[in-house]
Structure 1
Amino acid sequence: MTKIIPEDKARQGHWGWHALRILIAGLLLAFIAWGAVEIYGELIKSPTTQQSVPSAPAAEQKSTQGS
């Protein structure tokens, strides 16, 4: 014989505070991992914009070439 269960009692589980805490913890861990990757990406970036250009020797070469 089949047991009749009311519809509100037939659910497998409840979406309560426990599930919400797990979802928030997963979201926080994802943000922490994203931040770590961003910081690591900035550290390994090659310094292409910071090239040293010697401006003083170029001025001395112009003055010696003109004489």
Structure 2
Amino acid sequence: MTKIIPGDKARQGHWGWHALRILIAGLLLAFIAWGAVEIYGELIKSPTTQQSVPEAPAAAQKSGQGG
């Protein structure tokens, strides 16, 4: 013969404050890691990635003007 158990009694447990603290701590650690990676990414950015367009030689500019 099987037992009839109500739905609210069949659960294994409730969430409680302990699980909530663990979830919040994990979220805070994820934000800290994200911030550290962002800062590190800005620090290692080399100045060569911000090159300007080189100018054309003066001789090529004079011959192109025609005149």
Q: Give TM-score scaled by structure 1 length.
A: 0.63
| Residue 62 to residue 54, structure 1, CA distance change in 2 (3 Å) | farther
Name the stretch that deviates more: 36-45 or 49-58: 49-58
State the shift of 1:13 in Å: 2.0
Can you give the 5+ residue segments of structure 1 that lack an aligned partner in the other structure?
none
4+ long deviations beyond 6 Å: 49-67
- The CA deviation string for residues 10-66 of structure 1, in whole angstroms up to 9 with x for no partner, is 112212111111110110110011011011101101124889999999999999999
Identity of aligned residues (%): 93
Find the residue that maps to 1:60 and give its secondary structure.
helix
C-alpha RMSD over aligned residues? 5.5
Name the stretch that deviates more: 3-12 or 20-29: 3-12
